[in-house]
Structure 1
Amino acid sequence: MTSLLNIGTSALLANMSALQTTGNNIANAGVAGYSRQTAVMQTQTGNSTDSGYIGGGVSVSEIKRNYSEFLTRQVSQTGSLAAMDTSRLQYLQQLETVFPTGAASVGTALNKLLNGFSDIVTTPSDLSTKSIVVAQGNEYAARMRHSAGQLAELASGARQEVATSLSAINGLAQRIAEVNTQIARSQGAAQAPNELLDTRDQLVQQLSGYVKVSTLASDNGTLNVYVANQPLVLGTSKGELTLGTDTFGDSGRLQLSIAYGGSATTLDENNLTGGSVAGLLRFNNVDLVDARNALGRMAVGVTAAVNSQHRLGLTASGESGGDFFAAQTLPAAQPAATNTGTAVLAAQVGDTSALKASDYEIDVLADGSFAIKRVSDGRISTAPAGATSLSFDGLRVGLSSGTPAAGDRFLLRPYAAGAAGMDMAIASGNDLATSSPVQAQAGTANAGSLGIQSIGAASSHAQQGDTVTLTFNANGTFDVAGVVPAATGVSYTAGQPISYNGWSLTLQGTPKAGDTVTVAPMPPGRVAGDAANASALMNLRDAPLFDGVSVADGYSDILSQVGVRVQGATSAAEVSAATARNATASKASLSGVNLDEEASRLLQYQQAYQASAKIIQMANTVFDTLIQNLGR
């Protein structure tokens, strides 16, 4: 009787545990991170009798947590990658709005400005036409400044979001350390603390959404968490993730550090390969920098080219032209905080057609030579020891003061403030220098078909005001008088520029022996009606200033670069999101709660519980009958 009663009691208790476990599953079906639990039953050792072993009932060996370390890690890793791709895409889509197409774009404003000079060519003495060009210049500069302001807002937004995310990361790290403490205390218990393990896994998954982590379990049940190979949580203690800037100070680049155990370690950005923070860092440190440099180079290049040509012309009153746009002063190279030398490096534009949209890192090597790294693509050039001027990518960098020391490093950001600094230098159409300082006239006795196609100043020259005469010979050459030294037997090709004393002359037709062309200063009475310099300014729209791309198409090239990044980021975000969904579904198939299945199990265990109660009832009945019979 005792055995039957024990069997019934064990069955009753086991099925009660199973009912409680199933009920707990149903109760937590909507709780994020909860892993379905199963009451695992095992047969108890039977009793030996003369007839053989008679079963001893059943017991619950464990409340099993349906969990896979592999699937859990997959969910965290794929979710981390998806979060990185999504955060970067969201900011790239905002960046795309900074560079609109159509009438509101910077490119349209620039093309209107350069095309406006063609109207001056048509009506060189019309002041209203010149005033329109000045207004178009103001509009172009204003749009540049507006775009620069939008880029600054994006940078500020990204930085603020990173700071907010770091606060959340540090809070999660604190919670993981606290749960580790609770788990370590319960290690002596016979059963694993399933709910605590679920809580910790959920915290790690949330943490992975911000930054990719790796984990390592300890013998005492705690979990160590690492970010970029550096410890964030070790057992029951935690570090702190902080935001700072790189060694060059205010470079605009964001950098993370981990403070743990009294020391701080700067994290290698290349090791941050997941999480929304990694996406924000890549946007801020790469995408935004490239966009700012592209826009800044456009501002610096156009300013230098237009100003250079404008200074070669004359105003309607005969005065030499000045700057059209406010001159762009390139910022000095930023020294690293670890520099021991006193050198100050200053930069200026040399060749506008060779400018590259990039920052540069300049290192002083042990032998005193220089290594110049173009950050955008990693290309490195060198300069010998003792050099006081460095020339690369259309820039000239000189030592303005101090002395460099071996190991010194500098960051040159030549275009960081280019767009923000766009402004006009002239205020009215009267200040426009659209006339050429020189004129060309064919000899009145010329017998050939020689004609003047164009004449204008190409550069500043001390002898530009000297009168120069070209006399053509029978063999297709010409002699030049009025230059030092005089030239003879110069080959002539129609349509090819002839340049002396800072001017450029293009002729057409075929000369005959004795034909002449004279270049002389523009007479005061003809200055107002000349538009040769306006024509030269108009022709800048076709100048290949930006990696071989014309000024007119330079903005379209920026649009293309941003568009390609948005397209690539969109594809990456779609793929990583799909991968994360698949990983989550795989984990849910193992660990998730299916209410239909749980309802079925509930009915199963309820019936088993009722049957177990019947066993106990039957054992009592048999026992009572036995007692009654013994009492007779």
Structure 2
Amino acid sequence: MNIFSGLHVGLRALETQRKSLDVTGHNIANANNEDYNKQRAVHKASYPYTAPGLSNHGGAGQFGTGVEIAEVERVKDQFINSQIFNETQTSGYWEEMQRGLEKVEYILNEPSDSGIDSAINQFWNSLQDLSNNPSDDAARNMVRENARNVIDSFQSVNNQLTDYKKSINENLSNAAADINNITKKMADLNKQIVSIKGSGQNPNDLLDQRDALYKDLSKLINVQSRQDAQGNLIVSTQGMQLVNGSDAYELAAKGNTDDNSIPRMEDKLIHTRTGTEIKPTNGKIAAWMDMRDEKLDFYAGRLNEMAKTMVTEFNKQHQAGYDANGVDGENFFKPIDSSSEQSAIAQLDLTAAIKDLENGLSKIAAGNKNIDTFVELDTLGNNLSGNYQVEVTDAGGGQFDLTINDSDGNKAYPPDPDSSVTVNPGDNVELNVDVNGDITADITAGINTGDFTLTVNDTGKRNISLDKAIGNGENANALANLFNSDEVIEGASLEGYFRTIVTSVGAESSRSQQMKNNQDVVLKQLQTLDRSISGVSLDEEMAKLIKYQQSYAAAAKYINKIEELLDSLMTIV
């Protein structure tokens, strides 16, 4: 080793410290870049002179030739990195599921003054008012208008759920485009990374970009990856490749029909190269599909079942009463056609008779011929008047004694004050009413030739009114009771059933919020751990700046001393 070798040692030291300063500066510049992983210049001693041998002089042995940068290393814990990718998928799923259920809560809009529950309550109140004032046209009009309000509330919720379902298909189309854009960029990065690795360098910044893209991809859909010997990241989902080397394979959102005139309600995610449907199990897309195909269908289905039951039971009870003209009640709502492609809610409507502006109010059957379970009244369509008290007592032997008193408490039937009529359970007793409203005789022919009939079922006492044209309001009351009486639908009332739907959405939304919060905590912990290893610490980098600057200055002084030695040598020569 000669004096000129010292210049080479000094020069290598200057270059190494300068390049280390460049790496440090690059770290500082990216201190706020969340996708950046800090880099480190790895120093190593350059190849030394050989040890003494036959061809050279003896001495101390090998002499070092200085320092050089072995590599610019990317500081990264791949295990933590893979955990972040996995948790990002789950985080994306619960984030979108929570957002979706929150949207359903907003659509149901409960509790509020404008939702289905409020509309049902208003309808119930109007039926109660009608039961108290069956002859009041204003009360009848409120029943009809509030029925329309119930229909509008159901259909508004149903339309919003349908629109939300359609919007999810748009999300799928946009997500497929985003995935294709990401995978194309990853394929391009693969090509560059392989090229740089082939030249013996580390493409650290490109690797950071590729990891960031893979993280974005993981948030959308569940993916798996592996790195081959050349440095390519091969990405797949459900066994189908999305990226392989410099090749990217696209996904497409396709509907169940090519006819654009038919609404696309259930778009599928298709791998365009294989034509295979992809059913994501995690990530945002999985949440969208679960929301569209399971949650929305479930809640819309329950609302449809509720609407169908409401129409069926309400019409049945409405037919059991009398309208304002003394005619048996007909359907109030249009019957639901189960064979129709339209949902029950979409079919909700009042019958033409009820909607008729001129005569519709009179068609509302407020009066009830079913006075009680123990006796049934049927005026057979006759226009009658009079208020009476019916009393049925046990006659023994499975038979009943029937007596009827007038409004003054006087015995009206049978005429003999000391007698009663003995009947069997289920017997129809046909009676006549004279012009004074007195019950004059019974008819036993059983062919509905009397003015009205009583069907005796059990013992009891109850006031009845023959003024069925006005009605006693019992049927309006029975109609109101449909909304809060048990056993109407799945062991619950209509109102209770709806509240079950609302609370179910609320419970699922609360759970998804909790899961989202849990994932946020897990992901934050992993990211904090990752940043503690791979993130840029300005204090650490400033210390490195001082260290490399001092080393650079020392190397410069070393070269200066070698120069002084050379000057002394040249002076001697």
Scaled by the length of structure 1, what TM-score is found?
Answer: 0.72
Aligned 8 A contact 2:18 2:552 in 1: yes
Aligned 8 A contact 2:39 2:75 in 1: yes
Matched, 1:603 2:531: no
Matched, 1:206 2:216: yes
CA distance in 2 between counterparts of 1:504 and 1:429 reads: 29
Residue 104 of structure 1 aligns to a residue whose secondary structure is coil
How far did 1:196 drift? 1.5
Matched, 1:561 2:493: no
How far did 1:438 drift? 6.7
Aligned 8 A contact 1:106 1:143 in 2: yes
* Correspondence for 2:188: 178
Q: Which residue, out of 293, 310, 317, partners 2:318? A: 310
How far did 1:225 drift? 0.9
Residue 347 of structure 2 aligns to a residue whose secondary structure is coil
* Correspondence for 2:365: 433
CA distance in 2 between counterparts of 1:138 and 1:253 reads: 31
Alignment of 1:75-474 (within 5 A): 75-99=84-108, 100-245=110-255, 252-260=265-273, 263-269=274-280, 272-274=281-283, 276-331=284-339, 417-425=343-351, 426-427=354-355, 428-436=360-368, 455=376, 473-474=395-396
Residue 324 of structure 2 aligns to a residue whose secondary structure is coil
- CA 1:557–1:506 in structure 2 vs 1: closer, same or farther (change >3 Å)? farther
Aligned 8 A contact 1:456 1:532 in 2: no
> Which amino acid is the alignment partner of residue 173 of structure 2?
A
Residue 266 of structure 1 aligns to a residue whose secondary structure is strand
Aligned 8 A contact 2:324 2:469 in 1: yes
CA distance in 2 between counterparts of 1:146 and 1:179 reads: 49
* Correspondence for 1:413: none
Aligned 8 A contact 1:544 1:551 in 2: no
How far did 1:169 drift? 1.2
CA distance in 1 between counterparts of 2:331 and 2:305 reads: 18
- CA 1:242–1:588 in structure 2 vs 1: closer, same or farther (change >3 Å)? same
> Which amino acid is the alignment partner of residue 608 of structure 1?
S
CA distance in 2 between counterparts of 1:568 and 1:244 reads: 31
* Correspondence for 1:63: 72
How far did 1:98 drift? 1.7
CA distance in 2 between counterparts of 1:590 and 1:98 reads: 45
How far did 1:490 drift? 5.9
How far did 1:612 drift? 0.9
Residue 226 of structure 2 aligns to a residue whose secondary structure is strand
Matched, 1:570 2:513: yes
Per-residue CA distance 1:153-200 (angstroms, 9 max, x = gap): 322332222222221111001101111111222332112211221111
- CA 1:70–1:429 in structure 2 vs 1: closer, same or farther (change >3 Å)? same
- CA 1:438–1:150 in structure 2 vs 1: closer, same or farther (change >3 Å)? closer
RMSD of aligned alpha carbons: 3.2
> Which amino acid is the alignment partner of residue 65 of structure 1?
R
* Correspondence for 2:41: 39
- CA 1:503–1:51 in structure 2 vs 1: closer, same or farther (change >3 Å)? farther
Residue 350 of structure 2 aligns to a residue whose secondary structure is coil
CA distance in 1 between counterparts of 2:76 and 2:395 reads: 97
> Which amino acid is the alignment partner of residue 272 of structure 2?
A
Aligned 8 A contact 1:226 1:233 in 2: yes
Aligned residues: 497
- CA 1:456–1:538 in structure 2 vs 1: closer, same or farther (change >3 Å)? farther
Q: Which residue, out of 75, 81, 85, partners 1:72? A: 81
Per-residue CA distance 1:391-421 (angstroms, 9 max, x = gap): xxxxxxxxxxxxxxxxxxxxxxxxx722233
> Which amino acid is the alignment partner of residue 536 of structure 1?
A
Matched, 1:626 2:569: yes
Aligned 8 A contact 1:121 1:531 in 2: yes
- CA 1:332–1:239 in structure 2 vs 1: closer, same or farther (change >3 Å)? farther
Per-residue CA distance 1:598-617 (angstroms, 9 max, x = gap): 11101110110111111112
CA distance in 2 between counterparts of 1:505 and 1:218 reads: 89
Identity %: 25
- CA 1:504–1:563 in structure 2 vs 1: closer, same or farther (change >3 Å)? farther
Matched, 1:4 2:6: yes
- CA 1:251–1:568 in structure 2 vs 1: closer, same or farther (change >3 Å)? farther
- CA 1:50–1:310 in structure 2 vs 1: closer, same or farther (change >3 Å)? same
- CA 1:552–1:51 in structure 2 vs 1: closer, same or farther (change >3 Å)? closer
Residue 319 of structure 1 aligns to a residue whose secondary structure is coil
Aligned 8 A contact 2:98 2:512 in 1: yes
Per-residue CA distance 1:249-273 (angstroms, 9 max, x = gap): 978344322112xx2111134xx22
CA distance in 1 between counterparts of 2:292 and 2:141 reads: 40
CA distance in 2 between counterparts of 1:172 and 1:120 reads: 64
Aligned 8 A contact 2:426 2:457 in 1: no
* Correspondence for 1:354: none
How far did 1:429 drift? 1.9
Aligned 8 A contact 1:456 1:533 in 2: no
Residue 420 of structure 1 aligns to a residue whose secondary structure is helix
How far did 1:332 drift? 5.2
Residue 53 of structure 1 aligns to a residue whose secondary structure is coil
Q: Which residue, out of 523, 533, 537, partners 2:479? A: 537
> Which amino acid is the alignment partner of residue 279 of structure 2?
D
Of 232-241 and 118-127, the range deviating more from structure 2 = 118-127
CA distance in 2 between counterparts of 1:251 and 1:437 reads: 50
CA distance in 1 between counterparts of 2:454 and 2:317 reads: 12
- CA 1:477–1:621 in structure 2 vs 1: closer, same or farther (change >3 Å)? same
* Correspondence for 1:356: none
CA distance in 1 between counterparts of 2:93 and 2:304 reads: 28
> Which amino acid is the alignment partner of residue 89 of structure 1?
Q
Of 529-538 and 599-608, the range deviating more from structure 2 = 529-538
How far did 1:308 drift? 1.9
Q: Which residue, out of 16, 19, 23, partners 2:18? A: 16
CA distance in 1 between counterparts of 2:91 and 2:456 reads: 61
Larger Rg: 2
Residue 54 of structure 1 aligns to a residue whose secondary structure is coil
Scaled by the length of structure 2, what TM-score is found?
Answer: 0.79
CA distance in 2 between counterparts of 1:306 and 1:196 reads: 68
How far did 1:53 drift? 3.2
Structure 2 regions of 5+ residues with no counterpart? 52-57, 379-391, 403-422, 428-447
Aligned 8 A contact 2:134 2:472 in 1: yes
Q: Which residue, out of 385, 397, 415, partners 1:475? A: 397
> Which amino acid is the alignment partner of residue 39 of structure 2?
Q
- CA 1:324–1:526 in structure 2 vs 1: closer, same or farther (change >3 Å)? closer
Alignment of 1:484-523 (within 5 A): 507-509=458-460
* Correspondence for 1:342: none
- CA 1:287–1:439 in structure 2 vs 1: closer, same or farther (change >3 Å)? closer
> Which amino acid is the alignment partner of residue 303 of structure 2?
L
Residue 225 of structure 2 aligns to a residue whose secondary structure is strand
Aligned 8 A contact 2:44 2:67 in 1: yes
CA distance in 2 between counterparts of 1:477 and 1:530 reads: 29
Aligned 8 A contact 2:98 2:516 in 1: yes
Aligned 8 A contact 1:477 1:491 in 2: no
- CA 1:122–1:54 in structure 2 vs 1: closer, same or farther (change >3 Å)? same
- CA 1:128–1:453 in structure 2 vs 1: closer, same or farther (change >3 Å)? farther
Aligned 8 A contact 2:10 2:558 in 1: yes
Structure 1 regions of 5+ residues with no counterpart? 334-415, 441-451, 458-469, 481-487, 493-500, 511-516
Per-residue CA distance 1:197-216 (angstroms, 9 max, x = gap): 11111111111122221111
Matched, 1:25 2:27: yes
